[in-house]
Amino acid sequence: MTPDSGVAIRWAGLVTAAFVIQVAFLNQISILGVHPELMLLVAIGAGLVVGPHRGAGIGFAAGLLVDLTLHGNLGVSAFCYTLVGFLVGLTKEAILGISKPLSVLIVAASSAIGTVLYAGVSQLLGEHTFSDPRFLTIIAMVALWNAVLALPVLNLCRRTEGSRVTL
C-alpha cells in the first residue's frame, strides 16, 4: 500500500464516521431548531489542514453523502461543500501559520458561507430556503456549532492526513 492510498483510506474512514455520527446523533440534537453540520466541517477541515485539492475532494464526497439524506436536489450540497473546501484551502495557502483562534474563526465564517451558498443554490432550484423565517438563525447557529466543534475535528483531520501537514 502506497502512502497516498493509506491517506485516502483514512480520509474515507473519517468521512464515513462523520456521516454516521451526523445521521445517527447530530441530526437529533439542536439549539433553536438548528443542528451541527459535521460534514461541512470535515470539508472545511480538509481544506484548512491540507489545502484546496483535498478540501474540494473531501467536500464533494461529504456533500454527496449529505445529499442522499436530504429531500432537495441531489448534488447541491456536493457542489457547495466542494467550493467551500476549495476556498478554505486557498485561504490556508494565503495565510501562513494559522493560529488556533484564527482557525476557529475561519471555520465559523466558512460554515456561514457554506450555509448561505447552499440556501442560494437550493432557492435557484425551486426550494424556499430564503423565505425560511429562521434563515439568519440557521446561519448563525451553524457557524456557532461548527466553531465549537472546530478544534477536535481539525485535530482529527490533521491526524488523518498524517505527518505531512503544516498547520
Partner 1 sequence: MLPGSKPESGRRKSRYLLLILTLAAITIATLDARGVGIISSARDSSRDALGPVGDFGNWVSTPFRNAWNGITNYDDLKQENERLQQQVDELKTNGMREKRAQRELKKLREQLNISFLADMPTQIARVDTARASNFDDNRVEIDKGADHGLAVGNPVVTKAGLVGRLTNVSRTRSVVQLISDPDFHIGVSVGKDQIHGVGHGNGDANTFIVDRGIELGREVRVNDYVFAGGIERSLVPSDLYIPIGTVKKVTPDAAERVQNMQVELSARLDRLDVVQVLKWTPSD
Q: Where do contacts with partner 1 occur on this chain (CB under 8 A)?
A: 20, 23-25, 27-35, 37, 51-53, 56-57, 59-60, 63-64, 66-76, 78-79, 82-83, 86, 89, 115, 118-119, 122, 125-129, 131-135, 138, 141-142
Tell me which residue has cell 491526524: 159
Tell me which residue has cell 464515513: 16
Q: Are 132 and 138 in contact (CB under 8 A)?
A: yes
Whichever of 11 and 118 has its CB closer to partner 1, that residue is: 118
Q: Rounded to an integer, what distance in angstroms lies between the CA atom of residue 36 and that of residue 18? A: 11
- Report which of 42, 1, 50 is spatially closest to residue 162, judged by C-alpha positions: 50
CB of 100 to partner 1, least distance (A): 25
CB of 94 to partner 1, least distance (A): 12
CB of 133 to partner 1, least distance (A): 7
CB of 156 to partner 1, least distance (A): 20
Whichever of 31 and 99 has its CB closer to partner 1, that residue is: 31
Question: Dihedral of CA 124/15/26/36: which sign?
Answer: negative
CB of 102 to partner 1, least distance (A): 22
Whichever of 30 and 99 has its CB closer to partner 1, that residue is: 30
Whichever of 69 and 166 has its CB closer to partner 1, that residue is: 69
Q: Rounded to an integer, what distance in angstroms lies between the CA atom of residue 35 and that of residue 25? A: 10
